[in-house]
Amino acid sequence: MVDATKVRDSIAAVHQESISGNIPSQNNGMRSANGAPLVLIRPTRGWVSLKLDELWEYRELLYFLTWRDIKVRYKQTVLGAGWAIIQPFFTMVVFSLFFGKLAKVPSDGIPYPIFAYAALVPWSFFANGLNQSSNSLVGNANLIKKVYFPRLVIPLSGVISGLVDFSLAFAVLLAMMLFYGIFPTINIIWLPFLLTLGFVTSLGVGLWLSAMNVQFRDVRYTVPFLVQFWLFATPIAYPSSLLAEPWRTLFGLNPMVGVVEGFRWALLGTDTAPGPIIVVSSLMALALLVGGAFYFRRMERTFADVV
């Protein structure tokens, strides 16, 4: 409960601040200095600041919304959280049959099932996060119309809640590695970074799509299509080593290429060190996120009226 006392202190601090700011003081000089409003409401135009400090202030709401998403996700389903495993696992089975066995797609010298599954785990996290976040604003329209909070919280919580599904699917990946007798390399220390990269990509694209979805519900029908297309534009069923060098690095413009190849490299020890790909992917992901965040903030002012 160290946390609770901290929070209480911060409440007290805010309270103190606003009181001292607002009690009429005898000193005229003081008055003008402290007379600034806490909140100024006026029309805004064009690009506006991200207000990340405010986002930080609302971190508890982010926590509760994420927690709600997680709690509610598999309510009243028979298999419950099993779905988090079933989706990537059965995709892996299908891929192994058709691409691995029938089409004999190369797999960088690793058994095809684990080759595919190691890519499908971060991919599922990305795809679910994208799905969740792009529909999140419309799905939470009642909140948007009735309460103020930084709207960024909503798509953000959609992606974060996917981490639970990710860890379940990841546990299965570890079990499979044990089964195939593959031990992770030292490069596993890069895994958090790679996961962050997947997270940033998912959120970045999610921000763009969720903001657009408010005005154009077409997005809702585009996302499944986009995800499917993207799945094959990412080396999941096949290795990126099929491509020759200048093209391979260029392939990194799809940030998920960096993530997926990175996962294989860190866990399965494929000798396709992601090197330049990861740099290109990281820059691209960052651009998507920053652009998405600013676009989101720009559209935010119309959300409550349009949604």
C-alpha span between 187 and 264 (Å, rounded): 10
Footprint of another protein on 11-30 (CB under 8 A) = 11, 14-15, 18, 21-25
Structure tokens at 258: 């960096």
Q: Which residue among 56, 64, 179, 247 contacts another protein (CB under 8 A)?
A: 64
Question: Which of these ranges, 67-75, 84-92, 107-115, 158-166, lies near another protein under the rule CB under 8 A?
Answer: 67-75
Minimum distance, C-beta of residue 13 to another protein, in the bound complex (Å): 12
- DSSP codes, 62-109: HHHHHHHHHHHHTTT-SSTTHHHHHHHHHHHHHHIIIIIIIS----TT
Question: Which of these ranges, 65-73, 114-122, 124-132, 222-230, lies near another protein under the rule CB under 8 A?
Answer: 65-73
| Burial of 130 (C-beta count, 10 Å sphere; 0-12/13-18/19+) | buried
Contact 170, 143 (CB under 8 A): no
Which of the 8 DSSP states describes residue 26?
S
Query: Residues with Cβ < 8 Å from 135, sequence gap 6 or more?
Result: 158, 210, 213, 220, 223
- Per-residue binding string, another protein, 148-187, x by CB under 8 A, is xx--------------------------------------
For another protein, which is the closer residue by CB, 12 or 175? 12
Of 174, 169, 139, give the one whose Cα is nearest residue 154. Answer: 139
Question: Which of these ranges, 111-119, 121-129, 175-183, 209-217, lies near another protein under the rule CB under 8 A?
Answer: 209-217
Q: Does 217 bind another protein (CB under 8 A)?
A: yes
Q: Does 306 bind another protein (CB under 8 A)?
A: yes
C-alpha span between 156 and 159 (Å, rounded): 5
Residues interacting with another protein, by CB under 8 A? 4, 7-8, 11, 14-15, 18, 21-25, 31-32, 34-35, 37-44, 60-61, 63-65, 67-68, 71-72, 75-76, 140, 142-149, 215-217, 301, 304-306
